[in-house]
Amino acid sequence: MSIGDETAFSPDASPLAARLADRAKEIIARYPEGKERSALLPLLHLVQAEDGYVTPEGVSFCAEQLGITRAQVGAVATFYTMYKRKPTGDWLVSVCTNTMCGVLGGDKTFEALSENLGVGHDETTEDGTITLEHAECLAACDYAPVVTVNYEFFDRVQADRALSIVEQLKDGLRPAPDRGSRLCTLKEMALQLAGFAEERDGAVAEGPAGEPTLRGNRLAEQYGVSVAGFDPDTPIPTQADRE
């Protein structure tokens, strides 16, 4: 079958094709002809938005959409931790236990959540609602220790606050992140990661950057620090030019 052709799916891929072919075609169309394979990452998010994880059927669907093998899709899906290969809860609670967050309380926070939820790393509660995981650096060291829920940030979180967040999730509530928009489910987040616009009214405008993120700008303004202008039309010299 040709790339993006939804008329000849295998039995493995057909169930997803009936629901996702139009959106998959839209994703693939974002890329230049001959570069369609670059659509694999958002396609994996798309199938994860459907079932909550990348199913074997999802792997087949992506492979047949792009004209590549299931092994090639699986190699990518197993490389990135954001792609889940088994059922995952509506709420993915990620605790940064990398060096800075770990020594500031992240390790204790993970232990407290693990005991409270009765699960370990990459495990899901019996009711299927919450998945807990260790996370490597979440790129928010200025807010350490951090916890994310479906990739939305809760800053300077110690064990007691983390337990409060989880209890709210258990009660069907959606605690407000310190930065970013209000919480959505993992499937809803996966659809956004596939490149489809946030549909909740006003959510995009929520959650301005925190003060630590802006501190460098504030200091630059205070001391008059700036960088040289950059003209994007300036030709990039080739190796021959340099020689």
- Tell if the pTM clears 0.85, that is, is over it: no
- 124 neighbors 87 (Cβ within 8 angstroms): yes
Question: Token digits for 9?
Answer: 């799916």
Tell me the average pLDDT of the chain: 91
Q: Would you say residue 20 has pLDDT above 90?
A: yes
For the chain, give the percent of residues with pLDDT over 70.
Answer: 95
Q: Measured in Å, how far apart are the chain's first and last C-alpha atoms?
A: 48
Phi-psi group of 79: left, alpha or beta (phi > 0 → left; psi -120 to 50 → alpha; rest → beta): alpha
Helix H or strand E segment including 133:
strand 130-135
Measured CA to CA, the distance from residue 134 to residue 122 in angstroms comes to 8
User: What domains does the chain contain, in order, with CATH numbers?
Assistant: 14-79 (1.10.10.1590), 91-193 (3.40.30.10)
Report pLDDT digits (tens) over 23-58. 999 999 999 999 999 999 999 999 999 999 999 999
Residue among 209, 74, 97 at smallest CA distance from 153: 209
- Residue 144 to residue 123: CA distance in whole angstroms: 24
Stretch 134-141: mean pLDDT = 93
H/E stretch holding 168 reads helix 159-170
Residue 91 CB partners (closer than 8 Å, separation 6+):
129, 130, 131, 149, 150, 169, 183, 185, 186
Asked if residue 145 has a cis previous peptide bond (ω within 30° of 0), the answer is yes
The predicted structure's pLDDT at residue 204: 67
Q: What is the pLDDT of residues 139-160, one digit of tens each?
A: 999 999 999 999 999 999 999 9
